[in-house]
Amino acid sequence: MAKIDKSFFRYVWRNSRREQITILAVVLASLPLYFWSLDLPKSIVNDAIQGRAFKNGTATIKAFKVVLNLPDFLGGKSYELFGGLDMERATYLFALSMVFFVLVLINGGFKWLINLQKGVMGERMLRRLRFDLVRQLTWFAPEEIRGMKPAEAASMINNEVEPIGVFIGDAFVQPAFLGTQALTALVYILVQSVWLGIAAGGIVAIQGVIIPILRREQIRLGKRRQIASRQLAGRIGEIVESSPAIRAHATDPYERSEIGSRLASLFFIRLDLYNRKFAVKFLNNLLAQLTPFFFYTVGGYLALKGQLDVGQLVAVIAAYRDLPPPVKELIDWDQQRNDVTVKYEQIIEQFDVDEPHEGEELAAAEEVQRSPKISVDGLSVNDLHGTPLVENVSFSIDQPGHITLAGPPGSGGEVVARAIAHQITRWKGTICLNGQNISRLRSGSLARVLAYAGPEPVLFPSTIRDNVVYSLRRKPPELPGPPLPKEEVKRRHEAERSGNPLEAPGDDWLDFAAAGVKNGVELDHLILHFFALLGFEEDIYRLGLLGRIRAADDEKLGHQFVAMREAIRKRLAEEGKSRLVEPFDPKRFNSNATIGENLLFGEPVGEVFAEDNLPSNPYVSKVIEADGLATRLAEIGLRLAEMMLEMFAGVQAGNALYERFSFLASSDLPGFQEIVNRSRSRRRSETTADRDKLISLALAYVEPRHRLGLLDEPTREAIVRARSRLREMIPKSLASSVEFYDPELYCNAAPVRDNLLFGRVAYGIANAQEQVSAVMKSALADGGFLNAVYRIGLDYQIGAHGRLLFPRQRAAVDLARCLVKHPAILVLDDALRAFPGMEAKAMLGRLAEEFKGRLLITALPGLDDAVPSDLKIRFDKGRLVGIDRGEEALAPSGEVNLSARDAAEEQRAREPARDEATRETPQDSLPTTQQDSPASAQEDEGAVQTQVAE
């Protein structure tokens, strides 16, 4: 497929020629009828109303007679094709009016058809344009794409092309349609009266000349606004990305003022635009109104003098009614054309990239899989401002093994690793894979045999599983043949018409064969195998416990987990650990759960029954009002508030102690002080809002945890009673908002762990969580359910950029992604930096073991001497300073060089800034490459919170 045409009209014409011609044909077909509809008023007025057709005193005439007059050179004969109908004057008037009405309907129908076709065609072209832009985005070399701001690219492809799409429908059709329509009207007027025609034409000409001139400024302003709003989008993206830095340095006032000034410039551009636009509009309207003035005076005068009959005048005025709108719209079209072509060219410029060469297939693919050989010859890489990163590096290995690219950080090994993995594409020299130059390979064929893990894992906001199997999503699924469902036929047809791929996304893309498995279950096991290798297994287990069964796909598993409850409880009893867990019992208060949990005794689905919303929920408040429970809870809330106010008096607002321990945020304190004061002075007069707030406090209370001695036995009993009322009387409309706990049933809304435990771990016993977890795990292992839990763990949603995972876990996911496709070559470029030194060493050892018989290429700062390697290429300051082969390389000290790891960290931190500084930046910008590193501090906190919450 070729790249997008630089000229807007050529692009549109090339890709929608057939549709454009069809619509143009419809436009042409509509014209004769349109002309007739202009002419008809004349007949109505002259022939029917004024009775000219009946001048000879006849009562009836032959109406609608159709006579074909042959021209003289064909003999000049006349053929009567239709003899006509006998009609009286009144009947004739009605008949003509009916014809007029029908013509109005037909013309309307044509308009409808043309508009619809235009709209559909425009949308199709928009789809194609967006798709082409995204496709071109994937053509950029890694070096180039780093210079692009994600938010700006998104804004261009998403928002800025939208008006272009709307215009595409009009690009050819609108001028043809409006032009011919205006011309028809003008010709008609000219035919009726040359003078009126000249007047009308003259004014149209004035409109056509003056207004575009006035609008030129508007276009210029529009362009400025487009650029300004794109930059705004970019800036907003940056604010989101750099929010940790903004918070850390409290620069939000600065950021706000910066955004404020951008908004101001957008505002003032629009203000200027309005000034112009409405001035032009005023002029336009004036000119449009001027013409009827001429018609009434001049036309009226001509009619008085008998040079024009009244019917003609009425028809001319009616025809003129149709003249200014097309002219105005034509002018609009012309302005849009200007506007859109500028926009289009602007966008296309940003995406100006040549289609990469098709490239060669890997000739010796099977041989590479069996025995990969790499040779690097005279490799030199410069950074963007020409400073050499590595110079003239040559080495080769002709059998599987482990190549260490050693040297202090920044000495060049990592650059060579990236070049081999084709993460850098601009170099001098050659890199050959089994004798074939990798620069000439199709990127797909290199990816089939080589995997690369870099320092910054690229993760998608999806499940762990999806992220791992991403490397296998490369086998376009076979398209099923007919018979196809109607929807599918439609989908494919449309995809074809707009140059989109026919294949739908989904799991059909997974290349199971490459992973050496047959189906999804086997693939899961393979992933778990790799996670075990990467020391990520335990994490997956814990994430599995926090996860939920996908209700639809595993009812059986739910039943089995319910059965495990008993097994776990039995095992706890056997080990004398029963006191560690207080089981849920529908008839008993669970003192280790919050009051709210005890009251609801179920898992909220959605927000309706979330703990914060319980007190204000009308149904819940009705239930707890019944036997005075609400009053008791409000009382507990009140005492809780009093105690908090007493205890936290003197603790400064904003102190972390509040966040961690208080039931109240520091900002709530004054509010609660007032509530407490009100309640103390006149106990009875609390408002409902006060009461709800107090009950809200009480609902979070757990006696053994908070130990404030606020719960007495009658209250507990009242809560248990309210619990059963709540469940029994729940209205149908609310039933789906909560899933009640039931000892016999699996609760789909609750995490697996809660389902297995069906109770709460007791507070106040040392290491209770750990002990319970261990018992649970051994019970699960004995029951054969560990894998089920692991597989649920793979369903864990990792958030944007994997923010809900720790850096270590992110690295593991990225590595598993590399391993799962069974590459013949694995390139590790500082991919183990998230792991502590000793763990990184152990993992490298395991990876080297796994890659026996394959090729492992590592550039891992600090781990140069950690494990034996078959070939050690030593670098210093961008130069190859030595190659240790075999025995020399095999004698590692086993050392992990921690300072080298730290140095690598620093080096990396400097890198993006340096790249950024040298990039030619057309727009002012902050660095956005490596965008998720500044956010990682905060991300990790999020990860901790989520994962520790159990």
Partner 1 sequence: MTIESEVQSLRQVSMFRDIDPAKLKLLAFTSERLSYEKGDVLFHQHEISDSTYVIVAGNVEVWLSAGNERIKVTELGEGAMVGEMGVLIDQPRSATIVAGSHVVALKIGREVFFDLLRQFPQMSLAVMRDLARRLDATNAKLLAVTR
Binding site for partner 1 (CB under 8 A): 643, 646-652, 655-657, 660-661, 706-709, 763-767
Residue linked to tokens 């890997």: 362
**Which value, in Å, is the radius of gyration of the alpha carbons in the chain?**
39
Residue 635 C-beta: closest distance to partner 1, Å: 17
CB of 141 to partner 1, least distance (A): 46
Tell me if 658 sits within 8 A of 651, measured CB to CB.
Answer: yes
DSSP state of 221: H
Q: How far is the CB of 698 from partner 1 (least distance, A)?
A: 16
Distance between CA atoms of residues 841 and 862, nearest Å: 9
Nearest approach, Cβ of residue 676 and partner 1 (Å):
16
Shortest Å, Cβ 768 to partner 1: 9
Q: How far is the CB of 687 from partner 1 (least distance, A)?
A: 28
| Residue closest to 430 by CA, chosen among 477, 395, 457, 386 | 395
Kindly state the smallest distance separating residue 666's Cβ from partner 1, in Å.
13
Q: Between 506 and 650, whose beta carbon lies closer to partner 1?
A: 650
Q: How many CB atoms lie within 10 A of CB 681?
A: 8
| CB of 399 or CB of 655, closer to partner 1 | 655
Q: Which is nearer to partner 1, 522 or 712 (CB)?
A: 712
Token pair for residue 840? 């990184």
Provide the minimum distance between the beta carbon of 439 and partner 1 in the complex, in angstroms, as a whole number. 50
267 phi and psi angles, rounded to 5 deg: -60, -45
Looking at the DSSP bridge assignments, the partners of residue 691 are none
Measured CA to CA, the distance from residue 880 to residue 407 in angstroms comes to: 9
Angle between helix 252-294 and 194-241 (nearest 10): 170
Please answer whether residues 614 and 727 qualify as being in contact, where contact means their C-beta atoms are separated by less than 8 angstroms.
Answer: no
Nearer to partner 1, 286 or 649 (CB): 649
Task: Look up tokens 């490298």; give the residue.
Answer: 844
Residue spans of alpha helices (H) in 609-668: 618-625, 629-647, 656-661
Provide, rounded to whole angstroms, the least separation between the CB of residue 716 and partner 1: 16
Q: How far is the CB of 661 from partner 1 (least distance, A)?
A: 5
Strand partners, 428: 380
Please report how close the Cβ of residue 813 comes to partner 1 at its closest, in angstroms: 26
Phi, psi of 689 (to 5 degrees): -65, -45
Single-letter code of the amino acid located at 224: R
**Among 408, 540, 500, which residue's Cα sits nearest to residue 816?**
540
Ramachandran category for residue 368: left, alpha or beta (phi over 0 → left; psi -120 to 50 → alpha): alpha
Q: Shortest approach of partner 1 to residue 248 CB, angstroms?
A: 18
Least Å distance, CB 415 to partner 1, is 37
Cβ burial 444-462 (10 Å sphere, 16+ → b, else e):
ebbbbbbbbbbbbbebeee
CA–CA dist 821, 340 (Å, integer): 45
* Comparison of 248 and 647: residue with beta carbon closer to partner 1: 647
Nearest to partner 1 of 740, 806 (CB atom): 806
Give the Cα separation of 820 and 468 in Å (integer).
7
Angstrom distance (rounded) from CA 601 to CA 162: 50
The least CB distance from residue 938 to partner 1, in Å, is: 17
Cα separation of 899 and 861, whole Å? 9
Q: Are the beta carbons of 946 and 804 closer than 8 angstroms?
A: yes
Residue number, 344 or 658, with CB nearest to partner 1: 658
| Peptide bond between residue 483 and the one before it cis (omega within 30 degrees of 0) | yes
Give whichever of 10 and 579 is closer to partner 1, judged by the CB atom.
579
Estimate to the nearest angstrom the gap between the alpha carbon of 432 and the chain centroid. 38
154 vs 665 by CB, closer to partner 1: 665
Nearest-approach distance from CB 623 to partner 1, in angstroms: 29
3-state secondary structure of 906: helix
Q: At a CB cut-off of 8 Å and minimum separation 6, what does 84 contact?
A: 61, 62, 63, 64, 65, 66
Closer of 57 and 764 to partner 1 (Cβ) = 764
- DSSP summary character for residue 357: P
Closer by beta carbon to partner 1, 143 or else 950: 950
CB of 651 to partner 1, least distance (A): 6
**Which one, 563 or 898, has the nearer CB to partner 1?**
898
For residues 737 and 618, the answer to whether their CB atoms sit within 8 Å is no
- What residues contact residue 460 under an 8 Å CB cut-off, 6+ apart? 466, 467, 470
Q: In this complex, which beta carbon is closest to partner 1, that of residue 22 or of residue 666? A: 666
* CB of 594 closer than 8 Å to CB of 699: yes
Cβ 537 to partner 1 shortest distance, Å:
24
The answer to whether the Cα torsion of 803, 804, 805, 807 is positive or negative is positive
Nearer CB in complex with partner 1: 451/641: 641
Rounded distance, CA 851 to CA 948, Å?
34
Decide: helix, strand or coil at residue 396.
Answer: strand
Give the phi and the psi of residue 500 in degrees, each rounded to 5.
Answer: -95, 160
**Residue (480 or 709) nearer to partner 1, CB:** 709
Between 512 and 806, name the residue whose CB sits nearer to partner 1.
Answer: 806
Question: Would you say 450 or 640 has its CB closer to partner 1?
Answer: 640
Q: How far is the CB of 709 from partner 1 (least distance, A)?
A: 4
Judged by beta carbon, residue 660 or residue 732, the one nearer partner 1 is 660
Element (H, E) at 602: strand 602-604
The Cα–Cα gap between 662 and 665 comes to 7
